[in-house]
Amino acid sequence: MMEGLARSSRPLRWAIRRDWADAAILVAAILAGWTVASWLLGEAVLPTPRGTWLRLLDEFGDPDFMDHLEATVRAFGTAMLIASAGGIAIGLTLGARRLAGDVMEPVLITLYSIPKIALYPIILLMFGLDISARIAFGVIHGIIPIIIFTMTALRNMPPVYARSARTYRLTPFRTAWHVLIPAAMPEIVAGLRIGFSLTLLGTLLGEMFASQYGLGHLLMRSMERNETSTIMALALLLFAFATAASYGLLRLDRYLRH
């Protein structure tokens, strides 16, 4: 499963030498397709890009919206922090100990592929109906790819690195900090990129079910009221955020590879 994703990110990375023309073409094509689709379907079903943009600006002026946005940012930020720190720590441990890694790898891949939403009630029963349940749900979505990428990187690390660390008698913590993390950095960033998307998805899903706060709740409410302009405005916001973050991590990735 994860090997598939790891492999798939590689050709994408080569293609990143994109210039502004490509970005302009993409934006223009999306806008054109979107406008035509909204003419065909009617504005009530699919609002025009202009209408969506105005709606989004409207939302930003609304204090109620800002509260929901803040709730999502807090839940997602915390979840991402826990998933990154925990994922890297667990990945390093499993990667440095071959037997532990061999034992856990299939378990992790199975955990990755189960529909975690079906287990959300358990999380709710464990954490209650507040923000901690949504954070936990974001974490269980995002942490697994980060663990797997970090672990795989360490397993493919030249053995001489680990031997040098032993020769210098580094403590496990200093080995991790000075040797293992720098050696695994590109893969860690690749894992963080996938982990980012999934953590965001998990947090939003958590807000959609049994929650009164956050963008996920707003989305759910607009779906029930069939407010398509709000749905599109929020989709635009999420998409822009995810693309910007993904692009930033890619830049970091390329920078670290030099």
Residue with tokens 């919206």: 65
State which residue, 33 or 182, has the beta carbon closest to another protein: 33
According to DSSP H, which parts of 114-227 are helical?
Answer: 120-127, 131-155, 159-167, 172-175, 181-208, 214-225
By the rule CB under 8 A, 85 interacts with another protein: no
Which of 115, 153, 107, 156 has the alpha carbon at shortest distance from 137?
115
Whether 2 contacts 109, CB under 8 Å:
yes
Whether 75 contacts 134, CB under 8 Å:
yes
- Of all helices (H) and strands (E), which one includes residue 46? none
Q: Closest separation between CB of residue 55 and another protein, Å?
A: 14
State which residue, 28 or 256, has the beta carbon closest to another protein: 28
- Say how far residue 66 (Cα) sits from the centre of its chain: 22
Q: Closest separation between CB of residue 163 and another protein, Å?
A: 24
SS3 91: helix
- Stretch 193-222: interaction string toward another protein, x if CB under 8 A: xx-xxx-xx--xx--xx------x--xx--
State which residue, 118 or 160, has the beta carbon closest to another protein: 118
Instruction: Give contact residues for another protein (rule: CB under 8 A).
Output: 1, 3-5, 7-8, 10-12, 15-18, 22-23, 25-26, 29-30, 41, 45-46, 99, 102-104, 106-107, 109-110, 113-115, 117-122, 124-126, 193-194, 196-198, 200-201, 204-205, 208-209, 216, 219-220, 223, 226, 228, 231, 234-235, 238-239, 241-243, 246-247, 250
